[in-house]
Structure 1
Amino acid sequence: MAVANPQRDFQVIEKEDAKEAMEYVQKHGVSNLSTYLQHKIEQWKEVAINIGIVGEAGVGKSSFINTVRNLNGDDEGAAPVGVVETTTEPTPYPHPFNSKVIFWDLPGVGTLRYPKEYYLEAIGVERYDFFVILSDRRFTSHDGWLAEMLLQRKKPFFFVRTKFDEAIEDKSEIDPEVIRHKIVTDAHRSLKALKLKNCQIYVISNFEPDSFEFPILMDSIFMTLPDLKSQAMVFTLGTFCHSVIKEKKTFLKSRIWKVATLSAAGGAIPIPGLDIGVDITLLVFETKFYLEQFGLDDDSMTHLAERTGTTVDYYKDAIIKSRSILLARGGITSTIKGIILKQALKDCPRKFLKWIPFIGSVVNAATSFGTTYYFLDKLIEDLSTDAHSVLDRVTQRQVGNATRID
């Protein structure tokens, strides 16, 4: 897997971000810049996202909800799994990392309790940002009716065919791509009969979220959501597929300039051996946040090992790039200072002033900004690379070892 060159020219700030920040400074003054940037950094935490999960009994709704929440079926707070219909009313399952992101297990369309004529009102259709419509066979007339109603209301939805792992196991002598093509063709045929054309079908396994079209589904969801909601979704989800890790890297990099500006604008403390100052407290906070995001902090690694039935060391052995940070037991501050000291002479020129004219009058602003930016950019590259490596080990254990109860 290619890793970006840390010596490249930094594309530090998007034009829209720079314009917005400049307008803020012109209106409120540079002294209030830190408050503005801190709000922009934390803004994603204020965003609520509601996702409706729809499907008949046994199609894998609960397993899907548990997978995207990084839970096994027997974990505390997991959606109950089983072939008997257990959903009698809309049931919320908040994500353990962020309670504002909620996956709703919705009852099926057209039951005695939820006939079509009352269904949308009963589930509170306007509440949801998007819907995932699941089936483990062909999509039904009820699925088609729901999709039509959602189209009328301009609500995004995704048709998902589950249990692809079982389909290829049942026909092991046939090329999986041939099986997938037939599944998609049959699904399109059934949806066309329901007057739905050009709908994408995502063929997935709830037990192998980094395989088949689960990553493509996640990418489509991220692209469908507005930017701030997409960021909130990405930062909330665990690293269960490579596409999520890539999106985390993108969004984390987009906030570096804000953190670097905060470090330069205030709270900068000189590092022994350097004629520059950085906000070490801020960098420690940001480093810990990155570790959580990439699932490389102690709690995440312990949970991962327990969930996959192995040891923490099994996954830590896959970590190469960020080993010094991860092994900094109780000394992460000293470790960060040491890394910055080594990096200081590489790329911290005053060219960064052209990106941050609103703090250009701050003493040592350019070098502080550049030092912080370089450190965080390199850290994200290293952590994301290691997160991909850890996920590869997870996938190796998952394939063929999952207990399938939908």
Structure 2
Amino acid sequence: MSTEIRPFQIDIAPVDLDDLNNRLDRTRWPQQLPGDGWSRGVPVAYLRELADYWRNEYDWRRHEARLNEFPQFMTEIDGQEIHFLHVRSAEPGALPLILTHGWPNSFVEFTDLIARLTDPRAHGGDPAQAFHVVVPSVPGFGFSAPPRGTGWTATRVAQMWAELMRRLGYERYGTQGGDFGAYVAPEMAKTAPDHVVGVYIISGLGFPTEKDLPEMTEDERAAYTQLMEQDWMNGVDHHALLRAAPQTFTYGWHDSPVAALAWMTQKFHEFNASGKPLEQVIDRDLFLTNVSLYWFTGTFGTSAWPYYDSTGFGWPEGQTATPTGVYSGPPGIRRLAERHNTILHWPEDNPGGHHFIAMDQPDHLAADIRAFFAKVR
């Protein structure tokens, strides 16, 4: 097995940009179904305006150049070609930190977060709390090769990440994750307990289930009711859809940029708990950069493997090998999280908004990551 680390730059071919524009120009638009607002899905008028912006105003080359400002690399691990960012801090004593993105996101999720971690001095933070940042693309996402065969798990990804950190020469490091990353990050501590100093999760630990109801207080039951009413709990069941027939839906996402855009918009809308329109929570160009990355790499289907390789949905459980911190405890319940974790950091007043908090609140997230790892460095 080759352990070579090769520099990488994004360079989407002009013919692929032309193809995207031609497909957008030839969209066959449906009629709007009866119903208020988003009750039937993404409204036609909303998506037409967004698609027009993608076609005529969004500048992929500008955002491609911005992404290429990050040092990027490829390496082979476990027979898989893995793409990753490796941004070293200029600060002495910086702690290595690996960030794992979620679905349907990519390394683009951390575009606005990375500099706040590597260069806290420039963002109002303590330079003694700087990080060397590693951001791998999960297999099947973006420029990382899709998994070969079935049976892939968060544990297997964690083992690959541990090897990546070893290959980069890091003996002691932290790990962070949200969404799918919230499953991978704890598994890294289990895989490499002598190397991981702390696990930081965006949210999801200690989330109550029906079996917890008998032992819950009145306030906890109220929080559980509120959790079950959230859009992201009651929208399109992507877990079931991608577990049952991902190949079927991939044809539309792979062939039609508007079908792909509608799917992404639906999920990012459901993941938005701020009460504000999506474009006021996540920068429109940042959102479209993520959509464009999926489109150009053809990974709408290959990124579905965490779902079609699963047997059902379950909240991340965590681990006890190393201390754990979270960005937001609620709607999780700390005493439930402590059944499977050594909780060291459980704030209840961090600003929320979108499920992908790194895109919504990069300043607050960076500050909280620094606050947690200051306790375990």
Q: How high is the TM-score relative to the length of structure 1?
A: 0.24
Q: How high is the TM-score relative to the length of structure 2?
A: 0.26
Query: Greater helix percent: which structure?
Result: 1
